[in-house]
Amino acid sequence: MKHVSLYRKWRPRTFETIAGQEPVVRTLARAIETGRVAHAYLFSGPRGTGKTSTAKVLAMGLNCANGPTPEPDGTCESCRAIVNNSSMDVLEMDAASNRGIDEIRDLRDRVNLAPTQGRMKVYIIDEVHMLTTEAFNALLKMLEEPPEHVVFVLATTEKHKVLPTIISRCQSFDFRRPPVTLLADKLREIADAEEIEAEPAALTMLAREARGSFRDAEGLLDQLSSFSEGPVTAEGVRELLGSVASDVLLETTDALYERRTADALRVVDRLSGEGRDLSRFVGELVAHLRRLMLLPDAPEVALAEVGADERAGLEEQAARIPTAEVVRMIEALGDALSRARRGGDPKLEVELTFLKLARDYEEPAVDVLVRRLEALEKAVENGNVSAPRPPRARRGPRPLHRSPRRTSRRSCPGPGETARRR
Ligand SMILES: [Zn+2]
């Protein structure tokens, strides 16, 4: 049996099933209903968010045997031809692989011909910002005087690269990146319908990895379900992506916050032993800390990338760890990440950073060093060669907290003291 990709099979065929783009969909449906469809649209937004699918549903609605209608039946000859990419009236061109002036000229030569089957011709030009200047100008000519029976849908992931003269002739729609929960819900719907057994945590991870792209999310689910035995598990996803479980991120954060150096280092050792990519681990840890940082002030931003199954753990940790501590960890880990990317040994960078974070290690302050140097210079000038007394060094700010565990045992030294004593 020929394998049809989940993405193709589950491509939306009605406005209703286009997820996460309600304002766009509502406006287009209304335009068909009232007979006020524009001659040129510009759809911009991240890849995989439904730009081309929306263009096709628009084309179906305009050309449906039971239309024009915002609810194309999907069963008439015209609808089926559009779904199968065989319609003579709906032409799709990918400017990314096809930047040529020839194609646009060819399009221009045919633009005045009446539609063969349906009412309207719909030209979909994907990644329109990739067209050459010549091709852009030819397109502009067509947009200036579009024939009655033509609708252009220009799609782009980089709107800022589209000429303003083009934009001004189009009705623009911005496609938003859908939140992780919405993508995970969609994957759940597909998995259930396709009888793919899948753990909720697995779908959340796939959804997050897809970064807002339905196409990527469905592609990953496809890959996992068709090339491996048994149900789609969180562990299977982690193996495929090389990522770590969310409880590892929670655990590491707690260890760093509570100054449990050995526990934090053990996580690194374990992941490294499992052959995990440690740069990726640090990246995921920073992303986790970012969510902790944002949660108190902008929960909707913080939770956009979080699955329903991960929410409680995140909220509990955010309520417990002060934001200043989280920021301190983000800064240190961000530095480690950039050093690793510049060719540093990722394991060593992570270990060093964890050690510094867990022990409250601080670089000697520059202003203290400068003051000592000035005193020394003055002493040399005055011919006083014996070493001057250094000005009293100001201590850096004390850590903002002590770990809950340690404050409960008052006789124990705080994390700062232990660090210096060792
Ligand atoms: Zn139809």
pLDDT at position 368: 75
Name the token pair of 16. 């209703």
Same domain, 157 and 102: yes
For ligand 1, the distance from its centroid to the CA atom of residue 15, given in whole angstroms, is 13
In-domain check, residue 416: no
pLDDT of the residue at 405: 46
Q: What is the CATH number of the domain that holds 98?
A: 3.40.50.300
CA of 182 to the centre of ligand 1 (A): 28
| Inter-axis angle of helices 346-359 and 261-273, nearest 10 | 160
207 within a domain of the structure (yes/no)? yes
Domain identity same for 32 and 113: yes
- For the cut 80, the answer to whether the pLDDT of residue 396 exceeds it is no
Q: Quote the ligand 1 centre to 67 CA distance (angstroms).
A: 7
- From CA 62, how far away is CA 97, in angstroms rounded? 28
Q: Is residue 166 part of a domain?
A: yes
So what's the pLDDT on residue 402?
45
Same domain, 27 and 167: yes
User: 116 and 31 in one domain?
Assistant: yes
- Domain CATH code at residue 232: 1.10.8.60
CA of 322 to the centre of ligand 1 (A): 57
The Cβ of residue 163 has, within 10 Å, a number of other Cβ atoms equal to 16
With beta carbons less than 8 A apart as the criterion, state whether 51 and 43 touch: yes
Q: Is 96 found in the same domain as 114?
A: yes
Distance CA 85, CA 11 (A): 12
> Does residue 171 contact residue 40 with C-beta atoms inside 8 Å?
yes
CA of 117 to the centre of ligand 1 (A): 12
CA 215 to centroid of ligand 1, rounded, Å: 24
Which tokens is 224 given? 């996992």
Q: From ligand 1's centre to the CA of 3, what distance in Å? A: 26
Measured in Å, how far apart are the chain's first and last C-alpha atoms? Answer: 67
Residue 19 alpha carbon to ligand 1 centre in Å: 21
- pLDDT, average across residues 309-319: 91
Q: How far is the CA of 77 from the centre of ligand 1 (A)?
A: 7
Give distance in angstroms: CA of 150 to centre of ligand 1: 18
Residue 204 CA to residue 202 CA, distance in Å, equals 5
**DSSP code of 76?**
S
The answer to whether residue 378 is domain-embedded is: no
pLDDT over 70 (residue 117): yes
How much distance in Å is there from the Cα of 230 to the middle of ligand 1? Answer: 39
**Residue 29 domain-assigned (yes or no):** yes
Measured distance CA(364)–CA(298) in Å, rounded: 35
Residue 172 DSSP one-character state: E
Last-in-domain residue among 359, 390, 408: 359
Whole-number Å distance, alpha carbon 95 to ligand 1 midpoint, is 28
Let me know whether 221 and 298 are in one domain.
no
Same domain, 80 and 210: no
**How many angstroms is it from 82 CA to the middle of ligand 1?**
9
- 218 token code pair: 């469905």
Q: Where does 212-344 show beta strands of DSSP type E?
A: none
Q: Could you give the 3-state DSSP secondary structure of residue 156?
A: strand
Residue 370 maps to a domain: no
Instruction: Report the percentage of the chain scoring pLDDT > 70.
Output: 88
Least confident of 117-126, 212-221, 353-362: 353-362
Ligand 1 centroid from CA 83, angstroms: 10
CATH of the domain at 298: 1.20.272.10
Structural domain including 217 reads 180-241
Residue 275 tokens, joined: 């052959």
Q: What's the CA-to-centroid distance between 65 and ligand 1, angstroms? A: 5
Same-domain check for residues 262 and 319? yes
Burial class (CB in 10 A: 0-12, 13-18, 19+), 237: buried
Q: Are residues 250 and 236 in the same domain?
A: no
Q: Is residue 379 part of a domain?
A: no
| Sheet of strand 121-126: strand arrangement | 90-94, 121-126, 150-156, 40-44, 171-174
Q: Is residue 391 part of a domain?
A: no
Residues 304 and 287: their CA atoms lie apart, in Å, by 12
- DSSP structure class, residue 230: S
Q: Considering the chain, what is the average pLDDT of its residues?
A: 85
Q: Are residues 169 and 26 in the same domain?
A: yes
Which of these three, 124, 145, 174, is where a domain ends?
174
For the chain, what is the domain count? 3
Domain boundary among 335, 359, 383: 359
Q: pLDDT digits over 10-69, tens only? A: 889 999 999 899 999 999 999 999 999 999 999 999 999 999 999 999 999 999 999 799
Which residues contact residue 267 at a Cβ distance below 8 angstroms, ignoring those fewer than 6 apart?
248, 251, 252, 255
Q: Which pLDDT score is estimated for 105? A: 81
**Selected residue with higher pLDDT from 83 and 308:** 83
Q: What band does 397 get if pLDDT is binned at 50, 70 and 90?
A: very low
Determine contact, residues 47/158, Cβ cutoff 8 Å. no
Q: Are β-strands 40-44 and 171-174 bridged in parallel, bridged antiparallel, or unpaired?
A: parallel
Q: Give the DSSP letter string of 33-55.
A: HTT---SEEEEE-STTSSHHHHH
Helix (H, G, I), strand (E, B) or coil at 121: strand
pLDDT tens-digit map of 80-90:
999 999 998 99
58 CA to centre of ligand 1 in angstroms? 11
CA of 76 to the centre of ligand 1 (A): 4
Query: Is there a single domain that holds both residue 191 and residue 119?
Result: no
The predicted pLDDT at position 324 comes to: 92
DSSP annotation string for 17-38? G-TT-HHHHHHHHHHHHTT---
Cis-peptide into 364, omega within 30 deg? no
Cα(62) to centroid(ligand 1), Å: 9
Question: Distance from the CA of 312 to the center of ligand 1, in angstroms?
Answer: 45
* Angstrom distance (rounded) from CA 284 to CA 330: 11
CA–centroid distance, 411 to ligand 1, in Å, is 78
**For residue 366, pLDDT beyond 80:** no
Determine the distance separating the centroid of ligand 1 and the alpha carbon of 179, expressed in angstroms.
31
Distance CA 361, CA 343 (A): 24
231 in the same domain as 93:
no
